[in-house]
Amino acid sequence: MTELSVDVRVQVARLRNLLVDAARCGALASPLASLPHPRWEPLELQALWWLRAECLLPVGVLAHRLGGLAMPRLSRLVDRLEEGGLVRRERSVRHDRRRVRVRLTDAGRAVAEETDALVQERMARLLSPLQGETRSALMDILELWVETLGAQARAAGEEEEENTAPTLVPDEVLTASAA
């Protein structure tokens, strides 16, 4: 492990033990896992659920949301959903036509709503052992954690952008090197 304070190491050990215990109780199973539907596979329902949550997703982001799904498999999944009338692909006209995004249709939104109702039921069962203030305190802490993770991700993205930005060469240098 990297250079961490004793306090952080203790907290990491506590978190690991809590996650192991929660998994033993079945609480770490994804509420998106094994969603039942007479026609659509669980992974297809998960894709619809993510599209409902985020409205319009580039295919690469959708692949990431689905656990790092390989692009050929994602393309087949989107093909099936498109053929079923649940999603449509959109190409970026303004920037790069190779960039494809996926959006729900009205029919897809209806299936996604059914899926979300089931996911919310599963989440309610996870939270139901906690009462009022305790449940609210947990939600407050989780919101703070997610906000912090988001801020870290944005900062890392900005730093990566700065490190990969092309170096601008003054015109005088270009003119001199061309001579």
Condensed to tens digits (0 to 9), the pLDDT of residues 23-75 reads: 888 888 888 888 888 999 999 999 999 999 998 999 999 999 999 999 999 99
Q: Give the pLDDT mean for 151-157.
A: 89
Q: Which residues of 97-129 are buried (b: 16+ CB within 10 A; e: fewer)?
A: eeebbbebbeebeebbeebbebbeeeeeeeeee
Instruction: State how far the Cα of 125 lies from the Cα of 42, in Å rounded to an integer.
Output: 20
CA angle 94, 150, 60 (to 5 degrees): 40
User: Where residue 177 falls among pLDDT bands split at 50, 70, 90?
Assistant: very low
Q: Per-residue pLDDT for 178 more than 80?
A: no
User: Which strands sit side by side in the sheet containing 56-58, from one edge to the other?
Assistant: 56-58, 100-104, 87-91
Token pair recorded at residue 20: 């192991």
* pTM exceeds 0.85: no
The string of pLDDT tens digits covering residues 104-130 is: 999 999 999 999 999 999 999 999 999
- The pLDDT-based confidence of 170 (bands split at 50, 70, 90) is low
Instruction: Label residue 171 by pLDDT band (50, 70, 90).
Output: low
Closest CA to 142 of 158, 130, 154: 130
* Assigned token pair, 161: 């952008």
Q: pLDDT tens across 65-94, in order?
A: 999 999 999 999 999 999 999 999 998 777
**Rounded CA separation 148/132 (Å):** 25
Q: What are the angstrom distances between the C-alpha of 53 and each of 33, 47, 109?
A: 16, 10, 10
Whole-number mean pLDDT of the chain?
87
